[in-house]
Structure 1
Amino acid sequence: MAAQVTDGNFEAEVLQCDLPVLVDFWAPWCGPCRAMGPVVDELANEFAGQIKVVKMNVDENQGTPSKYGIRAIPTLILFKGGEVLEQVTGAVSKSSIKEMISAKIA
């Protein structure tokens, strides 16, 4: 299960994390976001120990999404060492997200 992050703990939980971090920017009212939720949780389990997976509610936290130019959700961003490695927007297949993660953490 992916943990929740906020504007307040984003730097400590994501940017300063030793592992690559996949952040799911979502909102409760967003249908595609709700569809992606279980997929993101499955990825958190499958990549446990290799990456950290967190979710950020964009309605409750507007500073961080604004900083990264997020205009549509769901948006998944893979961070490593405080830098953006990869970003995908929209409901995408689990296999394509797995490929993105595997290619960047190999």
Structure 2
Amino acid sequence: MSNFDTIINSEKPVLIDFFATWCGPCRTLAPILKQVKDSMGERISIIKIDVDKNQQIASKYQVRGVPTMILFQNGKQLWRQSGVLSKEDVIKVITEKSNK
């Protein structure tokens, strides 16, 4: 768990994608998040967390449905959303909620 805490305590915004391999919408979201990363480059970290393999973390953040995205910066949760968003919407949220 401490590795996860180190990741979310970054000054750079970190978008966590809680997903499951059996989840259809999660598979839809994956290429969208790749486009977000391609657009934003080093300004954002995007980490994928498989809820089936990381139940402790999913439980800690009360992830009930997948996909759920949570945006962290300096260890603080800035935003969370379940479901699939467009690339533009994800970038807008990251830009508005973080100081990047």
TM over 0.5: yes
Structure 1 unmatched ranges of 5 or more: 1-6
1:12 and 2:6 are equivalent in the alignment: yes
Equivalent residue number for residue 78 of structure 1: 71
2:58 equivalent in structure 1: 65
Aligned positions of 1:13-92 closer than 5 A = 13-14=7-8, 16-92=9-85
- Pick the structure with more helix per residue: 2
Q: Which amino acid is the alignment partner of residue 12 of structure 1?
A: T
User: 2 CA distance for matches of 1:41 and 1:8?
Assistant: 26
Q: Distance in 2 between matches of 1:25 and 1:59?
A: 10
**Please, what TM-score do these two structures have when normalized by structure 1?**
0.86
Give deviations 1:9-56, integer Å, cap 9, x for gaps: 211222x22211000000110000000001111111211121111110
Percent of paired sites with the same residue: 37
The number of residue pairs the alignment matches comes to: 99
Q: Measure, in 2, the Cα distance between the counterparts of 1:9 and 1:68.
A: 15
Scaled by the length of structure 2, the TM-score of the pair is 0.90
